[in-house]
Amino acid sequence: MPTMFYNTLSHSLMEFIPLTPGPDSADPLRGAFVRMYSCGPTVYDYAHIGNFRAFLFADVLRRYLEFRQARVQQVMNMTDVGHMTDDALADGAGQDKLQLAVEKMKATKKAGQAAVADPNDPFQVADFFTEVFLADARTLGLAVVADYDRAADAAAREAVMPRPTRHIAHFIQLIQRLLANGHAYVAADGVVYYDVGSFRAYGKLSGNELDRLAHGAGGRTNAQAAKRHPADFFLWKPDRTHLMRWDSPWGQGYPGWHIECSAMAMHFLGESLDIHTGGEDNIFPHHECEIAQSQGATGKEFARFWMHTRHLMVNGEKMSKSRGNFFTIGDLTKKGYDPLVIRYALICTRYRESTNFTLQSLHEAAASIAFLRDLADKLTPSVAAVDEAAGDAGRLAVHEVSLAPGEADMIAEFSRALDDDLNISAALAALFTWAKPLAQKGRLDYPAARSGLAALRRVDHVLGVIFPPLRALPVAVQEKVDALMQQRLQARRNKDFAASDTLRRELSALGVEVKDTPTGSTCRPRLVPPA
């Protein structure tokens, strides 16, 4: 079965064949090289779970391509200038979001709660929210952040998660190319605009028509008089009052949001990409403008596939702080929800379907994760003893382990589902249909356990929730947990079940979940707060 993804540009399902396919024409993903650009956060505030649904979709897509043994180079930007508060119509109206963040940070300083030394400095504010985003993304297991953390130096990190303020020269060069190609002009007010009338394909991605944009893509007073068409969008805006400004051939000012992604994507990935991802709110104006800029400069197709995730609803409504249904990752972890539970809840429905997030959905996600981890725990002892005896030379990479027919069938069905436009719901159904009977069996011999464990590890390369990195408790908490577990062991030996239950509750209060088995009791960090 070919790998089919929905391409927003063609408004249809298309077979995905990378620009640099693998050597086997029957399986072009195996050994392929895939260039992928993902629109990331604007680092002016805490990213919310709706933002992270889009970032996690890109992560699952990348992980699935790797599951198919493609090599993926993913770049995700972190916008720190030029994203305006009122840019829904592409004319850059409103206030720069980083300047707005400065105003908010100054207010927190007056209240004695500022998170940065100088809240008047937009670069400090951007640095603060960048680090918050990276910390959240690490806990959710985003592979692109793992790339960033593994990078050898600052330049290598920038090639993975670039920040626009470090690429002003690239923006200026791209604007100059557009001016030279007749796709941009300097208006009477000194602003450099993209001439949408010069690019015949403008509107193809979003379905907009230029005539229908005549009253809106600007339509906002003074700037309109300087434009050739109301939908023309700014590439560079001279402004000596802006807190973040740079020298340019057009005077001191700052770049537009759209030019940033075009320039950085092409600088790090080349002039033609395999996949560009984002949320559906990026389709217009942002991605429409990116296509016009990039193709206007190079004459080449910018991205073969444009893939967008639908909005996230919370309790059946749009997220809103006034409704009390607006959640950041920090909000949820402070309530006691494990980050990987949040991850599972945000990825377990198909990306092109609008999904409804509730706290109950986190408890359902936790139950699914706990079941899969219990199964892995059941299989591990049978495998670990033999592998330990074999030593490093006897160990095989996960994809090298031969699977038994049952596991091979599950992996094939899991893959077929994801080949169908990342149908994660069907992929999970295949996983649980296989896993539930296996969990009910007694102790398995080494070949069966190794096959089952290898299958779990393969699917978890996509899911990222079954085999989490070790999460150590603070030393003092761990010592208390160890002492309480010993007391509970003694209480159970004495058949003092009332004391055992009391100790279980004390352990739960420390964030630890106790599991009793025929061979003894184990504990691990709790996934959700107690009911």
36 pairs with which residues across the strands? 74, 275
Spell out the domain ranges in the chain: 4-309, 341-463, 475-525
Q: What is the pLDDT along the chain (531 residues), one digit of tens a residue?
A: 899 999 999 999 999 999 999 999 999 999 999 999 999 999 988 999 999 999 999 999 999 999 999 999 999 999 988 665 555 555 555 667 777 777 777 776 655 566 777 888 888 889 999 999 999 999 999 999 999 999 999 999 999 999 999 999 999 999 999 999 999 999 999 999 999 999 999 999 999 988 887 654 433 335 566 899 989 999 999 998 888 899 999 999 999 989 999 999 999 999 999 999 999 999 999 999 999 999 999 999 999 999 999 999 999 988 866 677 889 999 999 999 999 999 999 999 999 999 999 999 999 999 999 999 999 999 988 787 666 555 444 455 666 788 999 999 999 999 999 999 999 999 999 999 999 999 999 888 999 999 999 999 999 999 999 998 766 677 788 888 889 989 998 898 898 989 988 998 888 888 888 888 766 777 888 899 987
State how far the Cα of 391 lies from the Cα of 395, in Å rounded to an integer.
7
513 pairs with which residues across the strands? 524
Residues in the chain: 531
Question: In sequence order, what are the residues at sequence separation of 6 or more whose Cβ sits closer than 8 angstroms to the Cβ of residue 372?
Answer: 431, 435, 456, 465, 466
**The one-letter amino acid at 284:** F
> Which residue in 531, 464, 517 sits closest to 141, CA to CA?
464
Q: State the CATH architecture for 4-309.
A: 3-Layer(aba) Sandwich (3.40)
State how far the Cα of 103 lies from the Cα of 119, in Å rounded to an integer.
8
Contact at 8 Å (CB) between 77 and 41? no
What per-residue confidence (pLDDT) applies to 86?
57
CA distances from 250 to 16, 167, 259, 294, 297 (A): 41, 17, 15, 21, 19
CA distances from 230 to 87, 209, 218 (A): 13, 12, 5
Distance of CA 43 to the CA centre of its chain: 14
Contact at 8 Å (CB) between 346 and 53? yes
What per-residue confidence (pLDDT) applies to 521?
79
State how far the Cα of 12 lies from the Cα of 429, in Å rounded to an integer.
25
Question: In sequence order, what are the residues at sequence separation of 6 or more whose Cβ sits closer than 8 angstroms to the Cβ of residue 386?
Answer: 446, 450
309 pairs with which residues across the strands? 279
State how far the Cα of 506 lies from the Cα of 283, in Å rounded to an integer.
50
CB count, 10 Å around CB of 180? 10
What per-residue confidence (pLDDT) applies to 514?
85
Distance of CA 446 to the CA centre of its chain: 37
Contact at 8 Å (CB) between 257 and 287? no
What per-residue confidence (pLDDT) applies to 218?
36
Axis crossing angle, helix 339-347 with helix 122-140, rounded to the nearest 10: 80
**The one-letter amino acid at 230:** P
State how far the Cα of 146 lies from the Cα of 304, in Å rounded to an integer.
26
| Three-state secondary-structure class, residue 279 | strand
State how far the Cα of 181 lies from the Cα of 297, in Å rounded to an integer.
7
State how far the Cα of 366 lies from the Cα of 468, in Å rounded to an integer.
13
What per-residue confidence (pLDDT) applies to 219?
35
What is the pairing mode between strands 33-38 and 71-76? Answer: parallel
Long-range contacts of 481-485 (CB under 8 A, 24+ apart): 481/507, 481/510, 481/512, 481/523, 484/510, 485/514, 485/521, 485/523
What per-residue confidence (pLDDT) applies to 81?
83
